[in-house]
A and B are shown apart, each in its own frame.
Chain A
Amino acid sequence: MKQIITIATKEFKDYFISPIAYIVISIFLIVSGWFFFSTFFLYERADLRDFFGLLPITFSFIIPAITMRLFSEEKNVGSYEVLLTMPVSFTDIALGKFFAATLFTASLLIPTLSYPLFISFVGELDKGPVIGGYIGAVLLAGAYCSLGLFASALTRNQIIAFIIGCSLCFTLTIIDKLLFFMPANIISIIQYIGADAHFSNIAKGIIDSRDILYFISVIFIFIFSTYIVMHEKN
């Protein structure tokens, strides 16, 4: 446990040492801010529905950019050897890196708290969907971070890790919109796999254990896959 915290702290600090963090944060805030404010005054609605509605798509591109360096960079520079010869287990490393990325994505959301604050000045804000939305956003971030972590463990090339991560996250986001291509008997399974539906349930303010269980399962499966990849590669 102590090792996980040490690794997570180090990785989290690393984000702020390199320029990646600032670039990613700026892009995320510009994109999400533009989507949010471009229609905000037209509809005269005091909610964050548009912001949360687009979050899965934005995250599918932002999070792989955050996670791509986790393993690829270490493998490329050679520090992976240093890390693996210290008294830490594969699980410590995978979890440490996962928590660092998730924490970083969560801190990315902090500036967006100004949106609900801003709305509450101009209109009556329904708190439920906003709180649910942020809980859902952190769960979604966790799930996508585990996917990105897995993609990064596969290769020493950060660009490849980014592309694999994007494809995985994007697939998980849009898969339940492609149901009419699927055979009828597996539709219900595919529908369950899609992340968007689970996220929008929570973002409506309905916190259902099934949705939470879904995100926790995705996180578990991909951290475990990362563990297997690490094990097989050495």
Chain B
Amino acid sequence: MIEVQKLTKYYNDFCAVDGISMTIHKGEILGLLGPNGAGKTTTLRMLTGYFRPTSGTIKIKEMHMPEDAIKIKSLIGYLPESAPLYHSMLVYDYLNYVAKIKGIDDKEKRYDRLLQLSDLCGLSDIMAKPIGNLSKGLKQRVGIAHAMMTDPEILILDEPTSGLDPNQIAEIRDIIKRIGKEKTIIFSTHILSEAEATCDRIAIINNGRVVADDTTAKLTQSVTQGAVIKLTVSGASRDQVFERLSTIDPGLEIKDIAPPEDGVVCFELSTPDNRDLRSQIYLKIKETDWIILQLAKESQALEKIFRNLTREDA
């Protein structure tokens, strides 16, 4: 569906995107992850034809980007980062204008489509308000209605949930999942749990390069092996616990972490060969009168990959 080859973008001397290549298949939900300034937005802007790449090619459905720009643009629904819209226009006028530009010529069809979208995005109360007076979340919804106007085959959403309240975030994730069944969706985010929950595939970008690109399941799997165990104990000093733990296994790595409250000690435990030592730890501490407050295998796999791959010193 979408083929990107060695996409590069320079702003004067600064390289924002450095040779990104990827293929996105029909019906896939791809999450672009990356720290601020990694090149996510620039990549999306090149895909939508807003920026011209310095070099590299974009092929969408057998069409090439700069030459067939208008045809490609009519296939794509795009929600820019901060949903920048015309502040003085009313929501209805704006959506009507977008519908006209996107080629819904028939007046009745346009009206029907606006009604559908207003139901889908929850806009019925604000149709007659100027866009400039809306809150960030409501603007974002108008932006989503804009992107979905012609029921496009490809949806590109740049941080669709930023600035929304938790209810709205859940709603938008629902919308993404629902429409993602038939459509190709690319969205960028820096909320990892969001990517994990909604995407089929995740690409992590750092300093303009793709540093990981795989299905969500595989990516998560690759790190769960290196899982860490979090242990919080009360009723003992740090050294006592440390001593006792080091007798369990010679390979056990024990790392101090700041305790969440007074009177407790907190450790992060891991073994190089990824054995699960929870039962041994439990038995060892059971011999004493200390109280285990927490003994858990850390499951934030994606966060770990993300931090490892995007750390500055990495």
Q: Find chain A residues with CB under 8 A from B6 CB.
A: none
CB closest residue in chain A, given B84: A78
Stretch at the interface among B12-20, B30-38, B99-107, B286-294: B99-107
Chain A residue with Cβ nearest B130: A17
B56 on the interface (CB 8 Å rule)?
no
Binds B, one of A82-90, A128-136, A148-156: A82-90
**Set of chain B residues within 8 Å of A14, measured between Cβ atoms:** 86, 88-89
Query: Which residue in chain A gives the minimum CB-CB distance to B87?
Result: A77
Q: List 30 A-B contacts (CB under 8 A).
A: A2-B105, A3-B101, A6-B100, A6-B101, A7-B101, A10-B97, A13-B93, A14-B89, A17-B88, A17-B89, A18-B88, A77-B84, A77-B86, A77-B87, A78-B82, A78-B84, A79-B84, A79-B86, A81-B45, A81-B80, A81-B84, A85-B49, A85-B73, A86-B98, A86-B102, A87-B70, A87-B101, A87-B102, A88-B73, A88-B101
CB <8 Å contact, A88 and B70: yes
Chain A residues lying within 8 Å of B40, measured Cβ to Cβ, are none
For chain A residues 218-234, which have a beta carbon within 8 Å of chain B? 234
Shortest Cβ distance from A83 into B: residue: B101
A interface size (C-beta, 8 A): 21
Distance between B94 CB and nearest chain A CB, rounded to angstroms: 9
Extra 18 A-B pairs, beta carbons < 8 Å, given A82-B84, A87-B101: A77-B86, A77-B87, A78-B82, A79-B84, A81-B50, A82-B78, A82-B146, A85-B50, A85-B73, A85-B76, A86-B73, A87-B74, A87-B103, A88-B73, A88-B101, A234-B50, A234-B51, A234-B52
Q: Is the CB of B50 within 8 A of A84?
A: yes
In chain B between 40 and 93, which residues have their CB closer than 8 angstroms to a CB of chain A?
45, 48-52, 69-71, 73-74, 76, 78, 80, 82, 84-89, 93
**Which of chain A's residues have a CB closer than 8 A to the CB of B74?**
87
A-B pairs under 8 A by CB, number: 60
Q: Which chain B residues border A85 with CB–CB below 8 Å?
A: 48-50, 73, 76, 78, 80
Q: Are B88 and A82 in contact (CB under 8 A)?
A: no
A residues in contact with B88, CB < 8 Å:
14, 17-18
Residues in A with CB closer than 8 Å to B85 are 79, 82
> In angstroms, how far is the closest chain B Cβ from the Cβ of A80?
8
**CB closest chain-B residue, reference A77:** B84
Q: Name A's interface SS.
A: helix
CB distance from A92 to the nearest CB of B (A): 9
What distance in Å separates the Cβ of B87 from its nearest Cβ neighbour in chain A?
6
For A10, give the chain B residue with the smallest CB separation: B97
CB contacts under 8 Å to A, within B186-242, are none
CA distance A233 to B87 in the complex (A): 24
Shortest CB-to-CB span from B79 to chain A, Å, is 9
What A residues does B102 contact at CB under 8 A?
A: 86-87
Which of chain A's residues has its CB closest to B47's CB?
A85
Chain B hits for A87, CB < 8 A: 70-71, 73-74, 101-103
CB B97 to nearest CB in A, in angstroms, measures 5
List residues of A (6-28) whose CB comes within 8 Å of B's CBs.
6-7, 10, 13-14, 17-18
* B90 smallest CB distance to A (angstroms): 9
Measured between beta carbons, the chain B residues less than 8 angstroms from A79 are 84-86
Q: How far is the CA of A17 from the CA of B130 in the complex (A)?
A: 11
Give 8 closest A-B pairs by Cβ, nearest first: A78-B84, A87-B74, A87-B73, A85-B48, A85-B78, A6-B100, A17-B88, A81-B80
Interchain CB contact under 8 A, B101 and A86: yes
CA A89 to CA B78, docked complex, whole Å: 16
B1 to chain A, nearest CB (A): 18
